[in-house]
Amino acid sequence: MVEQRATSFQCGENWLYGILSLPQSAGAAADAGRRGVLVVVGGPQYRVGSHRQFALLAHALAAQQIPVMRFDYRGMGDSEGAARSFEEVDDDVRAALDAFCAAVPGMSEVVIWGLCDAASAALFYAHQDRRVTGLVLLNPWVRTEAGMAKAYLKHYYLSRLMAPELWRKIFTGGFQFGAALRSFLSLAGAAVRPRQDAAAPVVNASLAPAQRAASLPDRMLDGLERFQGRVLIILSGNDLTAQEFSDVAGASARWRRRLQAPGVQQHALPAANHTFSQREWRDQVAGWTAQWTKSW
């Protein structure tokens, strides 16, 4: 039902490598679906993904007549070049899109699918390329020191208070009160500290000076507001990264307004972890992605 094909393409002076998953009925790919999915891989991972997540996703989508390509950034997996952060991969994504469109000539639109910091990279890139008409963003990475501390205090510590094993440790003398207090005070300090840490170092020279000074969440929101296509957001319930994203978005009127705009859909899997490691979660993500990708 699915044809798997290795592909190689250049990004600058380096060769990058990926895998095309094509509906077998497409033959030479000329008749493949007009909308494909480019899987952008968050780091530090390569194109297969944790528990074969990306390979299984690609096969599931191609079985539903959706062409898929997944690839390694420069410096990851089999690709050449120096390793780089998710803020430095615009050229890699553009080169992959060029190769994908050349391999599937019947395809006129591309959805970028990204988990964690790959979702952040997708938001930085998508508004620059008219071929990109959709984004699937899973547990987007909006990490700042203050945001992480707040998420940890709000979600981790509250859940710990309800855990029977914590109270067993307390009543049996196995709980380290001093270490726990130091950890709590450190997080509390980070949570209320002025946002001087929010602007993580930016090495993407294409950004305007004002963008370079902004926090990671603000730069992601800027990319989202500039993007004119459709957006699907999928969040795990058992994941601090997803919870931090929800907290950041919920506290900002601009984020709320953009996420409530037409063309934005959201789904949640309350029990799922960061990488959707169980089959039922993975299948649900693939199902939502396929249905949404074919819905317009």
- Three-state SS string over the chain comes to CEEEEEEEEEECCEEEEEEEEEEHHHCCCCCCCCEEEEEECCCCCCCCCHHHHHHHHHHHHHCCCCCEEEECCCCCCCCCCCCCCHHHCHHHHHHHHHHHHHHCCCCCEEEEEEECHHHHHHHHHHHHCCCEEEEEEECCCCCCHHHHHHHHHHHHHHHHHCCHHHHHHHHHCCCCHHHHHHHHHHHHHHHHCCHHHCCCCCCCCCCCHHHHHCCHHHHHHHHHHHCCCEEEEEEECCCHHHHHHHHHHHCCHHHHHHHCCCCEEEEEECCCCCCCCCHHHHHHHHHHHHHHHCCC
Q: List, run by run, the mean pLDDT of 10-residue segments along the chain (296 residues).
A: 96 98 67 85 90 97 97 96 95 98 95 97 98 98 68 55 56 55 49 46 49 82 98 96 94 96 97 97 98 97
pLDDT for the residue 291: 98
The reported pTM is 0.81
